[in-house]
Amino acid sequence: MKIVRIEQGCGDGQEANCCTSVHGEAGGCCGMTRQFMTKEERRESLEAYREELKKELTGVEEHLKDMGK
């Protein structure tokens, strides 16, 4: 079984100290690293990956079609 790490942070693109400056507390959400995903998280991740693959395939097919002209 593959271990997938989930990085969690504030989600606003700030540095690792964003919790201190944004939330007024040291530590907290920033810098926490989870090692295991729940079944629901794995399912959601795979569904999102499937959608990205579908979009990639559509793009490839469009590109090939344009090249054929």
Q: What is the pLDDT of residues 20-66, one digit of tens each?
A: 544 554 555 567 788 899 999 999 999 999 999 999 999 999 999 99
SS3 (DSSP) at 6? strand
Task: Show the tokens assigned to 22.
Answer: 């944004």
Q: What is the pTM of this model?
A: 0.50
Is the separation of the CB atoms in 3 and 16 below 8 Å? no
Task: Show the tokens assigned to 41.
Answer: 């998280």
